[in-house]
Structure 1
């Protein structure tokens, strides 16, 4: 839908939010509606598919602060227009007799219009930019670290496969609108005071009239279309990250560009590894004697052979060691690989739940050797 047509739809009502809703509230409402009505969850349900398209269109506008501002301004402007402009002296716009007022110029100034006028000063049809689409995908921890190519099934409007976008029954063609001569716009007057340019009421702004509509799209030239995209998720992507894929959204009409696809990535937790920025983390159990006497331990890595970590004598539980270059890929400028982060290894000193006679005797000997030294003495002193 072109921005000049936004006023005909209440996107806030579509998402079930108030006009003062925050971006977080809008996003939450969209995600719930999108999940409930997604074609993959409702195979063959045309009503759900149509609802999914409506909420996607509404979110595409309201999720962008710039588009939302334009939409709110246009709704206000058209609300005033429906109430009637007064051009006579004392009226709201104060246009005097004989002064032409072209509403399309006003809309162009507000919503990014500009040139493109055809013969006789009428604005030529501009087509419609494709809708922005947001979808979600869940990937494994390793895919997030290394990058992955995902197949995504997308549903959006495209040119009708039966009439190839003309809106006319195969074997027939639309005819040029006799009222606007194909421009899609008409000029009317309000009480003879000033002229206003608006979409042609005979062809509804298309510039063409379909006398024998296509049975598939009923003359609209558009039909739901499903396609599978191979989307590359970059290495190092984080949980909840939103990736923009330019031109991979809804198809544009005529010369207008395709919309963008926004992919929200969810990363599954790993049983062993965690993330801390560009570094990977791991907690490794070590025996009491290894921590007390020192040892060299073997630690697994995510995508390579194990590394050896030297534990010095007297290592306390919770101490972290660093294995250089064994973490997640780091993206440099322009998305190029900038090396890898580190693997942060935290030791967890294990206390055996049970002791056999030999082990108990050894621990009792250690206690006797320690004597009366109280490890909590300083703590007690500081507490007092």
Structure 2
């Protein structure tokens, strides 16, 4: 079974792009084949983390993976060994531009190999994903509910419309890198380019920053959202609201909001999948003679028929009295276990009646031997 991409990079599912990139850079440096010559385990680890990064660093691929898992991204990321370079790069095509990108991620530098130059980074940055923890009553998880929540998040500045510049003024070309996004210098046989420290790789500068957001393009606000919880959710269920996370910087795409549900335990019922379980006490006479019991369910009272001669621990199913199937029709069952309660306080009349009953229905108390079929069952159990 393929490993979870988030576990491969040791990040949470709500990790931001920068957190994913940092995690990948650390692992790539640790497991790079050139640093571990002849170590096949390290090489496989490097390919695995490169494959995970190739998916999680792409917003569309990441969204598909979050929803459908490995099937949503067509299994392994494309590409094989990095041809022509020692050790290879799993998950990348192996051309010089790809090699430059990899070195840029790992070492913060761009190696110009065979004339492949660096690329200017976009000013736009995707907003961070956010997490909101919501606690539900047991009944709310079974029947569904709606609730308004308030989330503090970064939103696009309305004064500058998310550009970061005052009065709609366009950013100016960076004076240090002249719009390239990188500054270059020669190092041995390589022409090395580093991200321009002045414009942070965007190639432009805001000369007249917005006074409200101070050129950051975003401001912190409290956002109200109506959360609809469907019937049948379980403890730990995540509901994804696309685009409801933090706004992207400089008109970049917004992140997502993940509402994570925690369900309180019930005093009477426990849940197993879509089935509910409970224990109902019955008296000795009810077990011996049978009875019709009115028991509580989450939907109201229901009748349980207990046949005569019922033993303690016997279970009965009430069809359709369980939890609704999530996003589909039908319900689970209510499984009722009856337990015979032995009275602890008896008056004289009750004791006399029970003694008379005991004389009429005595039971041989010698230990029972297992039959041959019982021993066969034990061998296979």
**Range class of TM-score, shorter chain:** 0.5 to 0.7
The equivalent of 2:312 in structure 1 is 317
Q: Call closer, same or farther: CA 1:132–1:233 in 2, change over 3 Å.
A: same
Shifted more, 261-270 versus 159-168: the winner is 159-168
The equivalent of 2:324 in structure 1 is 329
The equivalent of 1:284 in structure 2 is 280
Cα pair 1:102 1:197 within 8 Å, conserved: no
The equivalent of 1:106 in structure 2 is 101
Q: Does 1:363 align with 2:354?
A: yes
How far did 1:200 drift?
3.3
For residues 281 and 178 of structure 2, what CA distance do their matches in structure 1 show? 77
Shifted more, 230-239 versus 281-290: the winner is 230-239
The equivalent of 1:352 in structure 2 is 343
Q: Secondary structure at the match of 2:337?
A: strand
The equivalent of 2:222 in structure 1 is 226
Q: Secondary structure at the match of 2:248?
A: coil
How far did 1:278 drift?
0.7
TM-score (ref. length: structure 2): 0.64
The equivalent of 1:125 in structure 2 is 122
For residues 179 and 76 of structure 1, what CA distance do their matches in structure 2 show? 38
How far did 1:254 drift?
4.9
Q: Call closer, same or farther: CA 1:62–1:159 in 2, change over 3 Å.
A: closer
The equivalent of 2:64 in structure 1 is none
The equivalent of 1:73 in structure 2 is 28
Cα offsets for 1:189-221 (capped at 9, x unmatched): 224854444433332234432333334433222
Query: Aligned-pair RMSD on alpha carbons?
Result: 4.0
Q: Does 1:338 align with 2:329?
A: yes
Cα pair 1:167 1:174 within 8 Å, conserved: no
How far did 1:367 drift?
1.5
1:200 aligned to which of 191, 196, 212: 196
For residues 182 and 153 of structure 1, what CA distance do their matches in structure 2 show? 43
Q: Which ranges in structure 1 are unaligned for 5 or more consecutive residues?
A: 1-21, 31-55, 81-91, 94-100, 112-119
Q: Call closer, same or farther: CA 1:125–1:23 in 2, change over 3 Å.
A: closer
For residues 218 and 194 of structure 2, what CA distance do their matches in structure 1 show? 23
For residues 19 and 195 of structure 2, what CA distance do their matches in structure 1 show? 27
Cα pair 1:295 1:313 within 8 Å, conserved: yes
Q: Secondary structure at the match of 1:300?
A: strand
TM-score (ref. length: structure 1): 0.64
1:147 aligned to which of 141, 144, 148: 144
1:167 aligned to which of 164, 168, 175: 164
For residues 360 and 317 of structure 1, what CA distance do their matches in structure 2 show? 22
How far did 1:255 drift?
5.9
Cα pair 2:314 2:337 within 8 Å, conserved: yes
How far did 1:105 drift?
4.2
Q: Secondary structure at the match of 2:357?
A: helix
Cα pair 2:218 2:247 within 8 Å, conserved: no
Cα pair 1:284 1:346 within 8 Å, conserved: yes
Q: Call closer, same or farther: CA 1:207–1:157 in 2, change over 3 Å.
A: farther
Q: Call closer, same or farther: CA 1:313–1:376 in 2, change over 3 Å.
A: farther
For residues 76 and 160 of structure 1, what CA distance do their matches in structure 2 show? 42
How far did 1:265 drift?
1.5
How far did 1:72 drift?
3.5
For residues 336 and 219 of structure 2, what CA distance do their matches in structure 1 show? 55
Cα offsets for 1:149-199 (capped at 9, x unmatched): 23232222222344432333x446253225379856135122485444443
Q: How many residues align?
A: 296
